Amino acid sequence: MKYMSSAGEYNVEKPGTLIARAARLAPELRRPFAAAVAVTFVATIIRLLGPLVIREGIDGGIVAGDRQTILLAAAVYIGLLGLQYIADGLSQWMVALVGERYLVRLRSVVFAKLMRLDAGFYSRSKSGVLVSRMTSDIESLQEFASDGAVMALSNTLTVVGVAVALGVVDWQMALAVFAVVAVLVGVSAVFQRQARRAYDQVRERIGRVLAMLQEGITGVRVVQAFTQEQAQASTFGRVNERYFEANMAAARAISWYFPVVAFLRVVALGSALAIGASRVMDGTMTIGTLVAFLLYLEWFFQPIINLSNVYNLLQSALAALAKLFGLMDEPVVIDDRPGAYDLTEPVVGAVELDAVSFSYDPGTLVLDGVSLKVGAGERLAIVGETGSGKSTIAKLIMRFYDPDAGRVTVDGDDLRDITERSRVDALALIPQDGFLFSGTLRENIAYSDSSASDESVWNVLRAMGIDDWVRSLPEGLDTEVRERGGRFSAGERQLVALARAFLFDPSIIVLDEATSNLDPETEVQVEGALRVLLAGRTSIVIAHRLRSAERSDRVVMIDAGRVIAVGTHTELVESSPRYRELVEVWQRGTK
């Protein structure tokens, strides 16, 4: 690989580095975060006061025989509960506000970075993995933000608070309870390791189940055509069973952990009672203290269990952060260099490749010293076999990549010296499949300029002779194209892509012609629209059919990364045997 990814600098083993960097991303959220922590702290303190009030009610009221005190304690407790409701609610709310705001920022920043990365990065990475940075990785952070963060914060404070309170109430009893809790922490650690492993497996296997399910549905016609229903069902059954087994492994872990926790709870209760009973009977402890202690105990176990769950969420959140920062640190290869300047307006559109060499992987040259001139307004067809390097030429002209050697120029200026903005305005690519975005037809045609008026869109359509087609659609320009233009044929998608380019009005057009057969009617329309679009512009057409080559001003034939013939169609038919062969193949297919 040409560019090494710097991912790996961040990893879960260094949570401090990760969190510090995460905090740097949104400095304006530090104050709100501090406020949220403060409110949570207050809420925890209020909660911890409850049992102390009850102790007073018992010792000062019930034991002392004072009704007034009992009622007073009850009234105070109700007051505290009112405060606790407000503080608790506020804490939940504030932590969520901060967390979700942070995620909005993170999504935006990561996506912006994703779009700045170059074609080389995209061809090295699987698109599914890129998408998962923005989806499953950020979603695991979301899970932490929406549930984990509050839990982590309030449960930690509660555990610390209760531990302190227990110690204050009676340190000997507290020690006995801490001993049990130490066992609980150990047991939880073992369980978490086991559960994590089990759930990793569950996640992996559900992925397979869903993938195979999807395949079984989308491929059902092939399955039936070859009567593979039973074979498919039994393969699926096996995959599904493995998922069941993974789930049961997790179930087994849960089925020993929670009973043990419940038992430990009773042990803690028993030891508190044993110590407390003898102390109360000695007269060294009040009965109210014992009851308060029992109440605190209830709040000690659940937070610890919660925290061990939160730990899992935190781990996957940190892992996600590490991956996201790895992406953020990818170098941006194609960018304005210092001192980059705009092309001189108006752009004439002369394109030249000067001794250009290029390789995707070091060692395998895709282009080997290609020199090529396209005059302003000229239509040049590039022909050659699959893999000859003809698409790479198009990509270099679009500056999706920079050449390893040599240079690509527009109007004599090296693309690397020109500002991105200026280059983008001068050039447009029409990819093979046209590529439509979800949205309306209007949005797709006016993609480069969403403020374009209906009138200018219709002008484009009329000029290209496809206004009748759009009018024939049920909702005209407002027709939803559906996913990737699924409701349109390949030819219709081409038409939209051509109209989009026409509205953009670039000086130079790079067209990767579709290989698939269009239905005859649309083919005629595409031809017509193309003629209008290319008139007066420089165009480089990756040609897959005879007619395109015939209509071009000149044809370049590429073979194994080199130019092997240049000239008009007629010239090449006479002078190049390789070209003649290609033309004959084309002719067999069409005549």
Return the residues of window 422-451 that contact another protein according to CB under 8 A: 424-425, 427-429, 431, 435, 437-438, 447-448, 450
Quickly list H helices, 219-346.
Answer: 220-225, 229-282, 287-328
Stretch that binds another protein, among 13-21, 238-246, 469-477, 553-561 (CB under 8 A): 238-246
Interior angle at CA 304, CA 299 and CA 307, nearest 5: 125
For position 290 contacting another protein by CB under 8 A, the verdict is: yes
**Least separation in angstroms between CB 315 and another protein:** 21
Nearest distance from C-beta of residue 154 to another protein, angstroms: 10
CA 585 to the chain's CA centroid: 45
588 binds another protein (CB under 8 A): yes
Q: Which span sits near another protein by CB under 8 A: 178-186, 193-201, 259-267, 473-481?
A: 259-267
Nearer to another protein, 244 or 371 (CB): 244
Asked if residue 26 lies in contact with residue 110, where contact means CB atoms within 8 angstroms, the answer is: no
Instruction: Report 548-587 residues binding another protein (CB under 8 A).
Output: 582, 585-586
Residues 423 and 68: their CA atoms lie apart, in Å, by: 85
Work out how close the CB of 24 gets to another protein at its nearest, in angstroms, rounded to a whole number.
20
Q: Which is nearer to another protein, 183 or 266 (CB)?
A: 266
By CB under 8 A, residue 179 contacts another protein: no
**Furthest C-alpha separation in the chain:** 119
Q: Which is nearer to another protein, 7 or 295 (CB)?
A: 295
- Tell me the number of residues near another protein by CB under 8 A: 147
Rounded Cα distance between 531 and 435, Å, is 20
Residues 481 to 520 in contact with another protein, rule: CB under 8 A: 484, 500, 504, 515-517, 519-520
Q: Where does this chain touch another protein (CB under 8 A) — which range of 61-69, 179-187, 355-363, 372-380? A: 61-69
The values of phi and psi at residue 356, to 5°, are -85, 130
Shortest approach of another protein to residue 503 CB, angstroms?
10
**Cα–Cα distance, 246 to 251 (Å, whole number):** 9
* SS3 category, 42: helix
Q: Tell me how crowded residue 129 is: count the other CB atoms within 10 A of its CB.
A: 11
Tokens of 536: 């007066």
| CB nearer another protein, residue 214 or residue 453 | 214
Closest CA to 95 of 152, 136, 137: 152
Candidates 35, 187, 209, 304; binder of another protein (CB under 8 A) is 209
Pairing, β 427-430 against β 413-414: unpaired
Q: 81-89 contacts: CB < 8 A, separation 24 or more?
A: 81/50, 83/46, 84/43, 84/46, 84/47, 84/50, 87/39, 87/42, 87/43, 87/46, 88/43, 88/47, 88/154
> Where in 311-370 is the site for another protein (CB under 8 A)?
none
Q: How far is the CB of 581 from another protein (least distance, A)?
A: 10
The 392-411 contact track toward another protein, x by CB under 8 A, reads ------x-x-----------
From 174-182, 235-243, 359-367, 557-565, give the range in contact with another protein by CB under 8 A: 235-243
Candidate ranges 191-199, 419-427, 469-477, 568-576; the one touching another protein (CB under 8 A): 419-427
Position among 157, 495, 546, 549 found at the interface with another protein (CB under 8 A): 546
The residues in 267-286 that bind another protein, with binding defined as CB under 8 A, are 267, 269-270, 273-274, 276-278, 280-281
Q: In the bound complex, what is the minimum distance in angstroms from residue 561's beta carbon to another protein?
A: 17
Stretch that binds another protein, among 138-146, 170-178, 371-379, 473-481 (CB under 8 A): 138-146
| Residue 524 contacts another protein per CB under 8 A | yes
Q: Which residues, 450 to 469, sit near another protein by CB under 8 A? A: 450
Question: By CB under 8 A, which span of 56-64, 159-167, 313-321, 346-354 interacts with another protein?
Answer: 56-64
Among 172, 224, 284, 570, binds another protein (CB under 8 A): 224
Q: Which of 38, 190, 231, 355 binds another protein (CB under 8 A)?
A: 231
Torsion angle of C-alpha atoms 291, 292, 294, 297, degrees rounded to 10: 180
Alpha-carbon distances of 461 from 402, 430, 455, 501, rounded to whole Å: 35, 17, 10, 12
- Give dist(CA 91, CA 283) in Å, integer: 41
- Indicate which single residue of 13, 115, 362, 364 sits in contact with another protein (rule: CB under 8 A): 115
d(CA 189, CA 181): 12
Binding mask of the shown chain, residues 36 to 55, with x at each position contacting another protein by CB under 8 A: -----------x--x---x-
Q: 508-512 and 351-358 as β-strands: parallel, antiparallel, unpaired?
A: unpaired
Nearer to another protein, 212 or 463 (CB): 212
Name which of 516 and 570 has its Cβ closer to another protein: 516
Least Å distance, CB 350 to another protein, is 19
The alpha carbons of the chain give a radius of gyration, in whole angstroms, of 35
Long-range residue pairs from 170-174, CB within 8 A, at least 24 positions apart, any chain: 170/275, 170/276, 170/279, 170/285, 170/289, 170/293, 172/275, 172/279, 173/272, 173/275, 173/276, 173/279, 173/293
Residue 183 binds another protein, judged by CB under 8 A: no
Our finding on whether 204 is near another protein (CB under 8 A) is: no
Q: Is the Cβ of residue 118 or residue 413 nearer to another protein in the bound state? A: 118
Interaction pattern, residues 64-93, with another protein; x per rule: CB under 8 A: -x-x--xx-xx--xx--x--xx--xxx-xx
**Length reported for the chain:** 591
Q: Restricting to residues 359-388, which ones interact with another protein according to CB under 8 A?
A: 385-386
Distance CA 582, CA 401 (A): 29
Question: Rounded CA gap, 151 and 21, in Å?
Answer: 22
User: Out of 13, 27, 28, 127, which residue is the one contacting another protein (CB under 8 A)?
Assistant: 127
23 touches another protein (CB under 8 A): no
**Span of 164-172, 305-313, 472-480, 538-546 interacting with another protein by CB under 8 A:** 538-546
Q: Report yes or no: 77 and 53 within 8 Å, Cβ to Cβ.
A: yes
Nearer to another protein, 17 or 419 (CB): 419
Q: Strand, coil or helix: what is 1?
A: coil
544: DSSP letter: -
